[in-house]
């Protein structure tokens, strides 16, 4: 089960598609079409990874921890934090993944029990655009933080001893735990307005965005996590748009039109003609 963490620190040829976006050393990021069950293939251009979304389809962001320690993944969709609904920034809330854990984030976090489904929609109908933030529609990013390991510091206590033969004092060293970090208090996710996901077909050339879909059960718990650094250990991202738009930009390959050879005897029976 993935877990929610509320942050407390201030902290021009198209490439061949590959199965998923293995974009980082600590974390793999992939996009899954929930209506087809397919992990969307990625296309690479100028060092960026792209996936093609289908308008109206629900999707999930699959995160895989590739390390032997816990990591914090701060998820941004269209420049919006997927947990809090704020304009995304690395020091915000995110999801904590256990060592080698894989999880799928299927929507905007509405509470500890529910999310509003991610779905591909026209840019004007995206959640970011409907909340006045259309500038970063079309990208999914994750800021990845490693966990700070407990620090044991040697504390020296000086014990004065009176002695006629000794001029100095002996020191006794003992190990003492460092002050424990305060437990992160869960902040209630900002409740976003209910937005109707658009199912209309994209106009030619219209960009794709992420809508605010139906609510579904997706329980998480809270946990504590102390970041090893103020900034992320790495940031991974994948850009998305419709397949037609990716083809037009030279990112995805054009579909190969296969011409079939006409057959004189294709088989079957004589159908009725269309009514006049």
User: pLDDT of 37-82, one tens digit each?
Assistant: 999 999 999 999 999 999 999 999 999 999 999 999 999 999 999 9
Residue 201 in this model has a pLDDT that exceeds 70: no
**pTM of the complete model beyond 0.75:** no
Report the pLDDT value the prediction gives residue 204, as an integer from 0 to 100: 75
Angle at 208 between CA 214 and CA 145, to 5 degrees: 75
Q: What is the mean pLDDT of residues 161-189?
A: 34
């Amino acid at each position: 089960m993935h877990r929610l963490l509320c942050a407390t620190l201030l902290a021009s040829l198209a490439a061949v598609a590959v199965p998923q976006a293995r974009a980082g050393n600590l974390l793999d990021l992939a996009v899954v079409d929930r209506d087809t069950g397919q992990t969307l293939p990625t296309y690479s251009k100028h060092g960026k990874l792209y996936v093609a979304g289908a308008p109206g389809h629900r999707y999930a962001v699959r995160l895989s921890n590739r390390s032997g320690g816990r990591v914090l993944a701060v998820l941004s969709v269209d420049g919006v934090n997927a947990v809090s609904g704020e304009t995304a920034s690395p020091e915000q809330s995110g999801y904590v993944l256990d060592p080698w854990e894989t999880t799928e984030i299927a929507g905007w976090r509405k509470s500890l029990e529910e999310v509003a489904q991610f779905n591909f929609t026209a840019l004007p109908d995206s959640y970011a655009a409907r909340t006045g933030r259309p500038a970063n529609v079309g990208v999914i990013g994750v800021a990845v933080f490693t966990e700070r390991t407990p620090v044991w510091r040697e504390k020296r206590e000086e014990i004065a001893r009176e002695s006629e033969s000794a001029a100095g004092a002996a020191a006794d060293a003992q190990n003492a735990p460092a002050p424990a970090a305060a437990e992160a208090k869960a902040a209630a996710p900002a409740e976003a307005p209910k937005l109707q996901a658009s199912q209309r077909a994209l106009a030619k050339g219209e960009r794709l965005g992420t809508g605010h879909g139906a609510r579904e059960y997706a329980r998480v718990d809270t946990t504590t996590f102390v970041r090893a650094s103020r900034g992320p250990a790495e940031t991974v991202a994948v850009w998305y748009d419709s397949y037609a738009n990716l083809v037009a930009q030279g990112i995805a390959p054009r579909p190969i039109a296969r011409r079939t050879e006409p057959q004189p005897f294709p088989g079957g029976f004589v159908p009725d003609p269309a009514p006049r």
